[in-house]
Amino acid sequence: MRKTGFTLIEIIIALTIVFTILSVAYATYFATFSSVEQCRTKIDTAYQARTLLAKLSRQIRCIYRIPDNNLPVIEPKSDIRTRIIPNASYSFLEAPADKNNGYILSLVTTAAVFNDKLLPHGPFQVVYKYDPDLETLFYSQKKYLPITENRSDSLQQGFNLPLINDATDESWFPLAKNISRIDLYFYDDGKWLSHWSYNEKLQLPKAVKIELTLENINSNSTTFTTSVFVNCS
């Protein structure tokens, strides 16, 4: 009678088939996992970009500017008349060309970067600073108050809130990381300018374009762009 069992050749063939199936399954799993991770990284990067661009766009749309010499005089019950006049020591929109100390944008806006219980209402002075070494965008936010001019027969006084503190102050907070580049362009008279000064032009741009380049954990860079119309221009 023949003895039942497998020969060595049959075992080798069976093992070869099993290892082949496992290799194909692992390769498929690894490719799917890598694809999911890449897709997840792109989604996270896109979400970060959309969130940051939406916040910047909202602040630009809500730029606050006091009309020059067009505000009515408020007549209180007392004999003191009050007029709100622009703060001459602070520009409503400033984007320097030289980017000294990383400053890229300062503006007065009614939209806060983050809501603060101490500062529930605007307008706000907001300054953005970009550090290319840290690839981080910082911001500083304070309540903005225009000069208040009180007049009577012999009384004329005013007050003015100090400007944003220096970069060494602890009032700077990180807003977004992994930013390899951020550029701002300002539309005026049919052309885009790389800088803007309200104090020089005495007006706001028609629109602002933001170009944001983010770098993910795989060192891949993606650029996102949006344009924002300035409502009160």
pLDDT tens, 188-227?
988 999 999 988 888 899 999 999 999 876 777 889 999 9
pLDDT at 165: 40
pLDDT at 187: 94
pTM: 0.67
pLDDT at 183: 93
pLDDT confidence tier of residue 174, bands split at 50, 70 and 90: very high
pLDDT of residue 18 exceeding 70: yes
Helix (H) or strand (E) holding 142: strand 136-143
Contacts of 55 (CB under 8 A, 6+ apart): 113, 175
**81 within 8 A of 73, measured Cβ to Cβ:** yes
Q: Where are the alpha helices (DSSP H) in 111-226?
A: 198-201
pLDDT at 10: 81
Distance CA 13, CA 34 (A): 31
